Amino acid sequence: MYEQHFGFAEAPFSLTPNTHFYLNALSHKNAYETVKLALDTQEGFIKVVGEVGTGKTLLCRRLLNELDEPYHTAYIPNPMLSPMDLAFAVAEELAVDSAGVNGQHQLLKRINDRLIQLASDGRQVVLVIDEAQTMPADTVEALRLLTNLETESRKLLQVVLFGQPELDQLLARDQLRQLRQRITFQEYLQPLDREGVSHYIQHRVGLAGYNGPGLFHPKAMRLIAKSSGGVPRLINILAHKALLSAFGEGAERVQGKHVHRAVKDTESAKPLRQWLPESWL
């Protein structure tokens, strides 16, 4: 669409999580390092919480991409499952033969045998669950029981939970207190500040192939920061629409007026004043 006009090799603000555009912002850096430390010390449960659009899935994918040997990863992106279906999902991720399984007990035994085999091969199994706030309470409890599988010296399965703040509400239930007590490390992803928003925009347009002078006027970036609240998903939406607006005018640079139009067209963005001083535009 506007890629050729601005000299992009690819779209810089796609909503699809793409680790190519990953920015190691402070909050994400802290969360990643905490998860890695917890995994290295073989802690049982780790939790990463963030509001909608703060980059949990991107961080999750980066973790999966970078956990090489001795780690063996299993990934469940949609855990809104029954306890039995969760066990089948874990079995599939671990390449467990579940054919002819007669009941949950037999399936858990096969999973346990596979975990013991991986442990004997020197592998450390990590189960990564995205959107963990969608799990039914009885499935969360089943997950805890799954992590009871262990040898005399070590846990056979570690779990990293990524979720929205509703995950905290779910785990606050009295019936889940045993799992809650097992969460030894937790991190909360924060929105970007104004400087972080500017860095984020420049980082993405640079990786997309733009090599000219500042594509977004500083005032345009200030408006994006103000209206997005520093949430990366909203930054992407507003930046994309602002680029469309600039492209439609044949402009070579995104100005405040282009962002203003983008904000008015985005229901989830924080509204700006209907009238803004010329100095803001």
DSSP 175: G
The CATH number of the domain holding residue 77 is 3.40.50.300
- 122 plus 245 within the same structural domain: no
Domain-embedded: residue 43:
yes
Span 221-231, pLDDT tens digits: 999 999 999 99
Query: Would you state the pLDDT for residue 275?
Result: 46
- 241 plus 103 within the same structural domain: no
Question: How many structural domains comprise the chain?
Answer: 2
Domain-embedded: residue 99:
yes
Query: Would you state the pLDDT for residue 83?
Result: 93
Domain-embedded: residue 197:
yes
Query: Would you state the pLDDT for residue 38?
Result: 92
Contact 162, 79 (CB under 8 A): no
- Residues of the chain whose pLDDT is less than 50? 275
- 185 plus 201 within the same structural domain: no
Q: Which domain holds residue 115?
A: 26-189
Contact 109, 149 (CB under 8 A): no
Domain-embedded: residue 15:
no
For 32-64, give the DSSP string: HHHHHHHHHTT-SEEEEEE-TTSSHHHHHHHHH
Average pLDDT score over the chain? 91
Domain-embedded: residue 230:
yes
Span 184-218, pLDDT tens digits: 899 999 999 999 999 999 999 999 999 888 999 99
Copy the structure tokens of residue 48. Answer: 């990463």
pTM comes to 0.89
The CATH number of the domain holding residue 205 is 1.10.8.60
Domain-embedded: residue 127:
yes
Helices (H) and strands (E) counted in the chain, each on its own, are: 12, 5
- 119 plus 130 within the same structural domain: yes
